[in-house]
Amino acid sequence: MTLEIDTLNALTSQTLTDIEITMVEGLIMSNDQNTYIPVLAKEVPTLENGGIVQKDDGTIEMTWNLQEGVKWHDGEPFTSADVCFTLDFIQSEAGQAVYNQTDYLGITECQMPDDKTVVFVWDKPAGNYATLFDTILPKHMLEGQDILTYDAYNRSPLGTGPFKFAEWKPGEYVRVVKNPDYWRGADFPKLDEIVFSFIPDPNTRLNGLKAGEFDIGQILPNQVKEVQDLAGYKVVSVPSNRWVIFETNLFNERAKTLFSDPNVRKALFHAIDRQAIVDGLMEGTVQLANSGISPTSPYHNPDVPAYEYDPAKAAQMLDEAGWAVGADGIREKDGEKLSFTIMNRSSRPERTAVAQAIQAMLKEVGVEVTFEDLESAAWLEKWLSKEWEAIIGGWIIPADPSLTGLYACEGSNNFTGFCNPELDAAMEASDATFDFKDRKPLMDKVQTILAEEGRELPIYYNSLPYVMRENFQGFKGSGTNLGSFWNSYEWDLGN
């Protein structure tokens, strides 16, 4: 673990929820195949299995059958009332603390035909419904409480998961212990306890692993070389759903004069040697990306056009776009120099290194790049204000890839001003569809348009290297936003 977490309430936490997932479960979870699997539900409802019924008035009835015999850690039974209670909280005003609250607002009704059945009524189809309800709250504990400040839950959560909360030493660690009554049966979990130690400095983390103090730990990609031959340990690199991109802004006035011509963007992309960044800078620990959706996802489109490294072509494209090399070696057009600023963020040194590589590569084709270095919160504020020219960005997406928020003209997280009606239509159609067979070609098209229009240059998919003892078994790392602890009940330290 790196930073200390804020709260152990997985719904309201602003950090990723690795720790909570060992204790608290939801209806679904995403696995190492970038696919949603049922947890507290018997199956994920689909049109095929009859779990989803589209009514004539356009509303949707979605039925979740819950697992039998599931108990909260205090012995109370888990029922459909807990599911509807969780939805009520998320849709309430306090539920604004849930980062993806808006995705839940399409549910107009939560019905409980019996203890083990929940029916959601949606006002319209929501293709990414499987990303929701990764956490269920215990109604009998939280009813009538102010959940945002209720320490009895937020500091020691009550769940149904394989491990029970044991202790949280501020600034040091969180310890969870085996739940002997786990609903998957007496065989699970295999481990007796897990201790999550908070160690902020990456070098200290590495030293602790080298000293044999930990069974498993996450390191940085550029530390892999140092532990590859560490006796008694193995390194497992998990491909992440986080992809790193070079993106240019179209909101900012000056950036618009430079980048609104797609051919200029594409020319810049051809001048960037991504393979060199992957192999040299990142020491081959990450994978080159051509699209935002990871190859581990069933929605990945392997056929999107790639921006191969070709500086001659880049120079030619810039010439054709009217940007001629000036006296000082920098291209210019109508008195404007092809010179822009990449905004770097101090908390992401690896992206700053990528920016430096890009600076050198673009200089070769007569493009000048300068830097503005900002501390993390200052960077985020300026990024939100949309008054920047270019960044090395990165997003992490759930296993179900709705990209509408990021790329739609009016998308809530569209901070670059890129807008393409054809793209919007494809994404909306995908969001309004429940069937993988129908969504897949639409998402393929989305990825193709993004590449063809030069929305951004995907550089690489991040990787999450884990160092663990050689006898560590059952680790199936997942690169989704829900992380690698999804199957901690299967983990074991055997011989």
Partner 1 sequence: MGRYIIRRVLQMIPLFIGISIVIFIVIQAAPGGPETTLLATGRFVSPEILEAYRTRLGLDQPIYVQYFRWLTTALSGDLGYSYKSAQPVLQVIAERLPATIELMLAAYLLAATIALPLGVYSAIHKYSPLDYAGTGLSFLGIAMPVFWFGLILQLVFAVQLGWLPSSGRETVGNTGFIDQLKHLIMPATVLSLLYIAGWSRYMRSSFLGVINSDYVRTARAKGLHERRVMLVHGLKNAAIPVVTIIALDVAGLFSGAVITETIFAWPGIGRLFIQAMYDRDYPLLMGIIMMGSIMVVVFNLFADIINAWLDPRVSYD
| 350 touches partner 1 by CB under 8 A | no
**Does residue 180 have a cis peptide bond before it, meaning omega lies within 30 degrees of 0?**
no
Whole-angstrom Cα distance, residue 125 to residue 431? 7
Q: Report the residue number, 79 or 223, with the smaller CB distance to partner 1.
A: 223
| 413 touches partner 1 by CB under 8 A | yes
Whole-number minimum distance, CB 338 to partner 1, in Å? 28
Whole-angstrom Cα distance, residue 489 to residue 164? 12
| 204 touches partner 1 by CB under 8 A | yes
Q: Stretches 11-19, 107-115, 305-313, 320-328: which one binds partner 1 (CB under 8 A)?
A: 11-19
Whole-number minimum distance, CB 423 to partner 1, in Å? 16
DSSP 370: E
| Total of chain residues touching partner 1, rule CB under 8 A | 60
What character string, x for contact with partner 1 (CB under 8 A) and - otherwise, covers 102-141? x---------------------------------------
Q: Which of 45, 189, 394, 477 binds partner 1 (CB under 8 A)?
A: 394
Q: Are 147 and 94 in contact (CB under 8 A)?
A: yes
Whole-number minimum distance, CB 379 to partner 1, in Å? 7
Whole-number minimum distance, CB 265 to partner 1, in Å? 22
Q: Which of 47, 97, 121, 227 binds partner 1 (CB under 8 A)?
A: 97
Rounded to 5°, the CA angle 202-205-206 comes to 90
Q: Are 235 and 227 in contact (CB under 8 A)?
A: yes
| 429 touches partner 1 by CB under 8 A | no
Q: Report the residue number, 173 or 188, with the smaller CB distance to partner 1.
A: 173
Report in angstroms the alpha-carbon separations of 337 from 82, 322, 334, 418: 60, 12, 8, 22
Region of 269 (left: φ > 0; alpha: ψ -120 to 50; beta: rest) is: alpha
Q: Stretches 78-86, 157-165, 206-214, 444-452: which one binds partner 1 (CB under 8 A)?
A: 206-214
Tokens of 209: 């692993």
Q: Which of 151, 229, 253, 410 binds partner 1 (CB under 8 A)?
A: 151
* Nearest Cα residue to 410 out of 396, 394, 421: 421
Q: Which amino acid is at 354?
A: V
**SS3 at position 218:** strand
Q: Are strands 456-469 and 390-396 parallel, antiparallel or unpaired?
A: unpaired
Q: Stretches 23-31, 260-268, 276-284, 371-379: which one binds partner 1 (CB under 8 A)?
A: 371-379
| 379 touches partner 1 by CB under 8 A | yes
Distance of CA 24 to the CA centre of its chain: 19
* Nearest Cα residue to 137 out of 150, 122, 123: 150
| 374 touches partner 1 by CB under 8 A | yes
Q: Which of 53, 276, 312, 380 binds partner 1 (CB under 8 A)?
A: 380
Q: Stretches 2-10, 119-127, 260-268, 417-425: which one binds partner 1 (CB under 8 A)?
A: 2-10
Q: Which amino acid is at 59?
A: T
Report in angstroms the alpha-carbon separations of 413 from 83, 294, 399: 29, 20, 18
Chain residues that interact with partner 1, rule: CB under 8 A: 3-4, 6-7, 14-16, 96-97, 99-102, 148-149, 151, 154-155, 169-173, 175, 195, 197-201, 203-204, 207-208, 210-213, 242, 347, 374-384, 394-397, 405-406, 412-413, 481
